[in-house]
Amino acid sequence: MLPILTLLHLFPLSTAHPQSTLGNRNFPDPSITYDPSTDKWYAFATQSDDDIHVQVASSSSFPSGSDWTYLPRTDILPVPGKWVNSSQPEIWAPDVHFVNSSSSGKWVMYYSGLASGSGYHCIGTASTASSSNASILGPYTADDEPFACPTSKGGAIDASGFYDEQDDARWVVYKVDGSAKGPGGPCGNGLPPGEPTPFMLQRVDARDGVTKVGEPIQILDRDPELDGPLIEAPSLVKHVARGGGDDDDDDNNDDHGRGGDRWVLFYSSHCFNS
Ligand SMILES: *[C@@H]1O[C@H](CO)[C@@H](O)[C@H](O)[C@H]1NC(C)=O
Ligand SMILES: *[C@@H]1O[C@H](CO)[C@@H](O)[C@H](O)[C@H]1NC(C)=O
Ligand SMILES: *[C@@H]1O[C@H](CO)[C@@H](O)[C@H](O)[C@H]1NC(C)=O
């Protein structure tokens, strides 16, 4: 095994320098998406302090530069789904993806909102019209029914979509928000035994991004020792091995199945304020 210093020397760590982007604006739970038609990156965030349901910023230079421009007074989700509490919608964690079918396409948004008649959030979907020139800035029309709404388990939040090009398959991963109905303590779920906060993986129709295919599958739950009261904000990435055969570790074996491809799940562990 190489000593640490040698490893650092071989793989110099590039340091990310935080830069002024949106100043001190409150822009929580961001997701980012590239739009080929405008050649810009777009960032979407949780409802603003002045009640814009979905906040948007864009960048022409990301990732080499970091000049992000806030798009003021743009509410791309003017009317959340009928299932959302209209006096207190609390739209959180929007995530936007392009869904392509033959010559046309549309943008689909996954978001969380406070479900009417319950104190819990659920996940909804909204889409632009399908056309050859659909705009990432919508407007988005929300579906009437929630996409996932397990209110008896605390609801669901933090939906994130993923398209698997190899399999032409589309997936949505989200968190069952058990910590919202927890027994108290840190993040409302710190007192033992606490509620489960599992991540569910739901396959959807690759051509519309919203029609569910089969049942959701639980892919991870919190480990109270490692994660404390919760895990949240799941995001899936597929790492496709170049050339196949071996994976990227140092043992010259393929440890991860087909051609060394592997799925990587990013998520947050512990309270949002930790
Ligand atoms: C959209 O899908 C069609 C096949 O349905 C494919 O030929 C085309 O390249 C796709 N376009 C994009 C932008 O992915
Ligand atoms: C909407 O939220 C408000 C504030 O929490 C609550 O008073 C009201 O009962 C909710 N409405 C519905 C239909 O759930
Ligand atoms: C798309 O093109 C049609 C016809 O050219 C136009 O009427 C419409 O406004 C365009 N939509 C967007 C979102 O640019």
**Domain CATH number, residue 97:** 2.115.10.20
Cα 118 to middle of ligand 2, angstroms: 8
| Atom 14 in ligand 1: residue holding the nearest Cα | 100
| Atom 7 in ligand 1: residue holding the nearest Cα | 102
Is 249 a member of any domain? no
Both structure tokens of 157? 């939040």
Q: In the prediction, which pLDDT does 5 show?
A: 37
Q: How many CB atoms lie within 10 A of CB 241?
A: 17
Establish whether residue 207 lines the binding site of ligand 1, counting it when its CB lies within 6 angstroms of any ligand atom: no
Choice from 104, 131, 135, 140 to test ligand 3 binding pocket (greatest atom count within 8 A of CB): 131
Position 106 pLDDT exceeds 90: yes
Is 214 a member of any domain? yes
Is 138 a member of any domain? yes
Q: In the prediction, which pLDDT does 273 show?
A: 80
Residues near ligand 3 with C-beta < 6 Å? Answer: 131, 133, 135
Distance between CA 86 and CA 80 in Å, rounded? 8
Split at pLDDT 50, 70, 90, the class of 75 is very high
Per the model's pLDDT, the better-predicted residue between 31 and 14 turns out to be 31
Establish whether residue 90 lines the binding site of ligand 2, counting it when its CB lies within 6 angstroms of any ligand atom: no
1-15, 16-30, 107-121, 153-167: which range is least confident on average?
A: 1-15
| Average pLDDT along the chain | 88
Closest to 175 in 3D by CA, of 266, 98, 239, 262: 266
Q: Which residues neighbour 78 within 8 Å (Cβ) at sequence distance 6 or greater?
A: 53, 139
Please count the structural domains in the chain.
Answer: 1
Q: In the prediction, which pLDDT does 274 show?
A: 73
What three-state secondary structure class fits 127? strand
Ligand nearest to the CA of 88: 2
Averaged over 113-128, what is the pLDDT? Answer: 97
Averaged over 210-216, what is the pLDDT? Answer: 98
144-201 pLDDT tens trace: 999 999 999 999 999 999 999 999 999 999 999 999 999 999 999 999 999 999 999 9
Position 123 pLDDT exceeds 90: yes
Instruction: Give the domain extent around 192.
Output: 28-242
Question: Do 62 and 43 meet the contact criterion of CB atoms below 8 Å apart?
Answer: no
Distance between CA 53 and CA 68 in Å, rounded? 19
Q: In the prediction, which pLDDT does 250 show?
A: 56
Split at pLDDT 50, 70, 90, the class of 74 is confident
| Atom 5 in ligand 3: residue holding the nearest Cα | 133
Both structure tokens of 52? 């814009």
Q: Which residues neighbour 117 within 8 Å (Cβ) at sequence distance 6 or greater?
A: none
Is 261 a member of any domain? no
Percent of the chain whose pLDDT exceeds 70:
86
Establish whether residue 88 lines the binding site of ligand 2, counting it when its CB lies within 6 angstroms of any ligand atom: yes
Cα 107 to middle of ligand 3, angstroms: 14
Percent of the chain whose pLDDT exceeds 90:
75
Establish whether residue 102 lines the binding site of ligand 1, counting it when its CB lies within 6 angstroms of any ligand atom: yes
Instruction: Record the pTM.
Output: 0.87
Is 252 a member of any domain? no
Averaged over 221-232, what is the pLDDT? Answer: 96
Is 247 a member of any domain? no
229-261 pLDDT tens trace: 999 999 999 998 876 555 555 555 555 555 688
Question: Do 131 and 138 meet the contact criterion of CB atoms below 8 Å apart?
Answer: no
CA of 100, closest atom in ligand 1: 1
Q: In the prediction, which pLDDT does 248 show?
A: 55
Choice from 39, 98, 101, 102 to test ligand 1 binding pocket (greatest atom count within 8 A of CB): 102
Position 12 pLDDT exceeds 50: no
Is 10 a member of any domain? no
Per the model's pLDDT, the better-predicted residue between 192 and 103 turns out to be 192
What three-state secondary structure class fits 97? strand
| Atom 14 in ligand 3: residue holding the nearest Cα | 133
Q: In the prediction, which pLDDT does 164 show?
A: 96
Is 267 a member of any domain? no
Establish whether residue 100 lines the binding site of ligand 1, counting it when its CB lies within 6 angstroms of any ligand atom: yes
CA of 131, closest atom in ligand 3: 1
